[in-house]
Chains A and B, each alone.
Chain A
């Protein structure tokens, strides 16, 4: 019963519904880079997220993600030691990378697309990512992928900007499990 009241309250709220409770343990942000044609998997180990989404009113949805630059696992110890350095993420100077959504729209086929501003190493670019939403019990599972061009954010400067060795395109995937807003 209480649940229903909470839901009613949510629907009834005219603006700024309470954000969803993201289950970080069951959410992940992974990526795949390519070096010499070899796909290498990595993931962001630490991130925080503020998420608000209602499939009935997708355009009112919003998301804010804060990624811990030093927590990026690029697939090997050697790569991780390199990645925090100045030419890559420069984690000492830019400890956080952020994504702040500006709009969400509905795509054909029951999919959605979020557009927003991605800031990495102090460089801000517009980015869009398509995603799907599936109900899992009372929770919602958000899944999507997009391509990030690392050189747009100066990730890998100097000799590392050579895309023959490490490709410019990094395939990013996200899977976010969010429970209804806490009462």
Chain B
């Protein structure tokens, strides 16, 4: 079995955990009453979002330099196409979701200051009407991403338990690197 590189697997799981955490956190924090804590949570949410964006860029760069292991030979063409399209869409969404959040924040009139230290320049000026539109985009992109992630997880489980191939195992973080014996 050819595994993903350790770096590729580490980035995959780090980003997965960060996205899941920020999705749950973001969904929870928006309904809180205004308080200093809420302001802090919004900042944390943005910082984590910026981090995800940067990590995805690193991940894409790594992937360009390190070809992932080939798909199992038993997969029919439609599955290969579906896998390609959904992976491509996942990369796109993991960039688009933080991007939309950042634009939404700018349009709301709140600059994003990474870790309260590094101001990220605003691409948009304050514009309440545009902010409403971007809020909708940020939410919609999140839900589309969540759906795709569910599909992604379902496919990984199908490969593992039904097809009994190595698709899940080769990305699994705990295991032998390179070629290993695992039935």
B109 near A76 with CB under 8 A, answer yes
Are the C-beta atoms of A36 and B109 separated by less than 8 Å? no
User: 28 interchain pairs (CB within 8 A)?
Assistant: A35-B39, A36-B39, A36-B40, A36-B42, A36-B43, A37-B43, A37-B113, A37-B116, A37-B117, A38-B43, A38-B112, A38-B113, A38-B116, A41-B109, A41-B126, A75-B110, A76-B108, A76-B110, A79-B34, A81-B34, A159-B36, A159-B37, A162-B36, A165-B36, A165-B37, A165-B39, A166-B36, A166-B39
Within 8 A of A (CB), among B73-129: 108-113, 116-117, 126
Produce 1/0 per residue, A131-174, CB < 8 A to B: 00000000000000000000000000001101001100000000
Instruction: Report B-chain residues with C-beta under 8 Å of the C-beta of A37.
Output: 43, 113, 116-117
Q: Which of A77-95 contact B (CB under 8 A)?
A: 78-79, 81-82
Q: Are B35 and A40 in contact (CB under 8 A)?
A: no
Residues of the A chain whose Cβ atoms lie less than 8 Å from the Cβ of B112: 38
Q: Which residues of B contact A40 (CB under 8 A)?
A: 109-110
Count of inter-chain pairs, beta carbons less than 8 A: 43
Produce 1/0 per residue, B53-77, CB < 8 A to A.
0000000000000000000000000
Distance in angstroms between the alpha carbons of A125 and B36 in the assembled complex: 26
B127 to chain A, nearest CB (A): 13
CB atoms of A160 and B109 under 8 A apart: no
Report whether B34 and A82 are in contact in the complex, using a CB–CB cutoff of 8 Å: yes
| Number of chain A residues close to chain B: CB under 8 A | 18
Asked if B109 and A75 make an inter-chain contact with CB atoms under 8 angstroms apart, the answer reads: yes
Question: How many Å lie between the Cα of A132 and that of B7 in the bound state?
Answer: 59
Give CA–CA (A78, B42) in the complex, Å.
Answer: 13
Q: Output the least CB separation between B121 and chain A (Å).
A: 13
Q: Which residues of A contact B117 (CB under 8 A)?
A: 37
For the complex, what is the distance from the CA of A140 to the CA of B97, rounded to whole Å?
49
- State whether A36 touches B113 (Cβ < 8 A): yes
> Besides A35-B39, A41-B109, A166-B36, 16 other CB < 8 A contacts?
A36-B42, A37-B113, A37-B116, A37-B117, A38-B112, A39-B111, A41-B126, A75-B110, A76-B108, A79-B34, A81-B34, A159-B36, A159-B37, A165-B36, A165-B37, A166-B39
